[in-house]
């Protein structure tokens, strides 16, 4: 019985080991990068189209797992897709966004984002490697072609990708800030006049007053080829009276706009500066005034969390949807719709916060261009059943070579056999080796010629005959290994002596 248990645990250990490591047959993409992290994506039960992939990684910890203590190079991150046989397909546009507490030396933490481009069938697996390096091997910041752009004039900003564009005004009717225009580049989904409230906005209340958050002329941008994050911060004030601050709370609002997506992610975080109670009388924690935007012909949804959602559309192929995907420090947010209010969005039940406490809600706003709830429902179903992301153990590109001569002392006119033995080359990167002796460079061979004894045994060889006018003394031998693109992988050195004295050993057999 004990033997059976030991066998069981050993097999499980092997399975665990296999699940966290990749076959070394997955070729190394570019030898100028020294580290990589394998990532496997399983689309699970749904077909995916241009799926957004986001992985939070602490690169300091990844380096420490390899016993490497070096500063991380934030410009070095690259994402490369492979086929299942281990061959490189292509580099994928990606971006690395640092966390607020990022430190290149001690806490190199951030999120790597890319698009799993094209159509991925249900239960299909796709293979990626995240390459990175340290500051001692710095890389240039990548420059990818992207359709994701933004503009900002100090009051309004545009966000554009290949499917949708939105305009956000920070100072519109009733001093609201939010989305007031959206298009699919063929038809305008909505567009309201400057005197009207924005279609999307935030209004909270207590038992006696309504509150706004002063976001006028306020926006900062973190832009990349895959997503743009817009950050707004505003103090709480009485509704439509931005100068009458309560000094009791502030709002941090984020719009996260991705390439190739028909939706935008919105995050609101309420931070209390004093003890407060906040709620919404109507659906205005995140309000989407759908009836005012395009006229509601149909409305549906589910208020049950997690992933409560609402959808509204008109017969003119114009619609909006909202899906609550995350809330922190509370369970009082939920999605709701009302024909009476002409609105869908998030509602907040009464919530009390002490000084310094905060609550957060994160939702997807779907900019629908169909007279159907199906696109919103489909997005919601895929969010409930996300892709399965498996991050495996970090890998290091290592090459070691050993230079050697057949003797340690030579005379002028003698011939030295020079070898460079590849001690370690996990990913079979070494393709060429040369040797330099006091300024003279030789190509070394591993093909059974030029004094090489065995072809393909990873011992590279050549010979060198010292001329009669060669300088006597210590000679340095440096061998350098290169990949197939003649990129230097590593070099190593040794030395020997050249003399003009001849040495003889006398052995007396019969004294």
The domain locations on the chain are 24-144, 202-386, 398-499
pLDDT for 8:
34
For residue 301, the SS3 value is: strand
Both tokens of 40, joined, read 């496997």
Asked if the 398-499 domain carries CATH number 1.10.1760.20, the reply is no
- Give start and end residues of each alpha helix (H) in 303-424: 374-384
Please tell me the distance from the alpha carbon of residue 136 to that of residue 72, in angstroms, as a whole number: 9
Please tell me the distance from the alpha carbon of residue 37 to that of residue 391, in angstroms, as a whole number: 7
Cβ atoms of residues 376 and 364 within 8 Å: no
pLDDT for 503:
63
Q: Specify the pairing of strand 409-411 against strand 488-499.
A: parallel
Say how many Å lie between the first and final Cα of the chain, rounded.
73
pLDDT for 21:
53
Going edge to edge, which strands form the sheet with 415-425? 399-405, 415-425, 459-465
Q: Which residues contact 174 (CB under 8 A, 6 or more apart)?
A: 197, 212, 239, 240
Please tell me the distance from the alpha carbon of residue 222 to that of residue 73, in angstroms, as a whole number: 18
Cα three-residue angle 369-117-129, rounded to 5 degrees: 150
Both tokens of 170, joined, read 């920070």
Cβ atoms of residues 266 and 246 within 8 Å: no
pLDDT for 506:
63
pLDDT for 15:
34
Q: Is the peptide bond before 32 cis (omega within 30 degrees of 0)?
A: no
Produce one character per residue of 44-66: b if its CB has 16 or more CB atoms within 10 Å, e if not: eebebebbbbebebebbebbeee
Cβ atoms of residues 370 and 317 within 8 Å: yes
Cβ atoms of residues 164 and 209 within 8 Å: no
Q: Which residues contact 63 (CB under 8 A, 6 or more apart)?
A: 35, 69, 70, 72, 134, 394
Q: Specify the pairing of strand 358-368 against strand 263-272.
A: antiparallel
Task: Walk along the chain (511 residues) in steps of 10 and give the mean pLDDT of each run.
Answer: 36 39 81 97 97 98 97 98 97 97 98 98 98 97 96 98 97 98 98 97 96 98 98 98 98 98 98 98 98 98 97 98 98 98 98 98 98 98 98 96 96 96 96 95 97 96 96 96 95 95 68 58
Both tokens of 347, joined, read 């509602």
Cβ atoms of residues 114 and 94 within 8 Å: yes
Both tokens of 418, joined, read 């020079």
Q: Which residues contact 433 (CB under 8 A, 6 or more apart)?
A: 401, 420, 422, 443, 444, 446, 460, 479, 480, 481, 482
For residue 382, the SS3 value is: helix
pLDDT for 352:
98
pTM above 0.75, yes or no: yes
pLDDT for 504:
60
Please tell me the distance from the alpha carbon of residue 19 to that of residue 472, in angstroms, as a whole number: 58
Cβ atoms of residues 442 and 415 within 8 Å: no
DSSP-assigned letter for residue 445: B
- Give start and end residues of each alpha helix (H) in 178-330: 290-294
| Residues in the chain, total | 511
The helices-and-strands tally (H runs, E runs) of the chain is 4, 38
Q: Which residues contact 83 (CB under 8 A, 6 or more apart)?
A: 89, 127
Cβ atoms of residues 172 and 158 within 8 Å: no
Produce one character per residue of 307-343: b if its CB has 16 or more CB atoms within 10 Å, e if not: bbbbbbbbeebbbbbbbbbebeebebbbbbbbeebbb
């Amino acid at each position: 019985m004990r033997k059976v248990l030991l066998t069981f645990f050993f097999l499980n250990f092997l399975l665990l080991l296999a699940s966290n490591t990749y076959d070394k047959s997955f070729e190394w993409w570019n030898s100028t990068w020294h580290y990589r992290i394998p990532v496997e994506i399983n689309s699970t039960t749904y077909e995916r189209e241009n799926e957004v992939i986001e992985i939070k990684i602490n690169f300091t910890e990844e380096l420490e797992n390899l016993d490497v203590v070096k500063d991380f190079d934030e410009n070095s991150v690259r994402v490369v897709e492979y086929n299942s046989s281990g061959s490189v397909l292509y580099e994928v546009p990606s971006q690395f966004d640092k966390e607020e507490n990022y430190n290149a030396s001690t806490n190199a933490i951030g999120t790597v984002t890319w698009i799993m481009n094209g159509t991925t069938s249900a239960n299909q697996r796709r293979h990626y490697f995240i390459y990175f390096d340290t500051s001692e091997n710095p890389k240039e910041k990548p420059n990818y072609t992207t359709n994701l752009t933004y503009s900002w004039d100090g009051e309004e900003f545009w966000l554009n990708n290949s499917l949708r564009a939105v305009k956000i005004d920070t100072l519109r009717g009733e001093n609201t800030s939010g989305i007031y225009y959206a298009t699919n580049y063929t038809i305008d989904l909505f567009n309201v006049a400057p005197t009207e409230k924005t279609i999307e906005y935030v209004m909270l209340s207590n038992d006696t007053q309504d509150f706004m958050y002063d976001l006028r002329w306020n926006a900062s941008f973190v832009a990349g080829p895959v997503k743009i994050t817009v950050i707004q911060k505003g103090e709480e004030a009485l509704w439509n009276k931005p100068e009458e601050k309560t000094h009791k709370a502030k709002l941090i609002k984020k719009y996260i706009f991705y390439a190739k997506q028909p939706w935008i992610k919105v995050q609101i975080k309420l931070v209390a500066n004093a003890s407060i109670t906040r709620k919404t009388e109507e659906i205005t924690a995140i309000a989407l005034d759908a009836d005012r935007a395009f006229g509601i012909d149909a409305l549906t949804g589910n208020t049950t969390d997690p992933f409560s959602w609402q959808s509204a559309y008109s017969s003119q192929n114009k619609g909006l949807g909202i899906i609550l995907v995350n809330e922190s420090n509370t369970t009082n947010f939920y999605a709701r719709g009302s024909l009476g209010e002409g609105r869908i969005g998030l509602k907040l039940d009464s919530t009390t916060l002490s000084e310094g406490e905060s609550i957060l809600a994160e939702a997807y706003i779907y900019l629908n261009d169909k007279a159907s709830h199906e696109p919103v429902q489909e997005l919601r179903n895929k969010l409930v059943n996300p892709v399965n992301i498996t991050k495996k153990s970090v890998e290091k590109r290592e090459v070691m070579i050993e230079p050697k001569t057949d003797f340690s002392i030579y005379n002028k006119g003698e011939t030295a056999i020079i070898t460079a033995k590849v001690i370690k080359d996990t990913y079979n990167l070494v393709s060429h080796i040369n040797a330099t002796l006091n300024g003279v460079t030789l190509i070394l061979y591993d093909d059974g010629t030029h004094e090489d004894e065995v072809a393909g045994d990873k011992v590279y060889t050549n010979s060198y005959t010292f001329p009669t006018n060669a300088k006597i003394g210590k000679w340095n031998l440096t061998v350098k290994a290169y990949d197939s693109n003649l990129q230097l992988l590593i070099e190593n050195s040794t030395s020997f002596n050249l003399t003009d004295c001849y040495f003889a050993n006398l052995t007396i057999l019969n004294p």
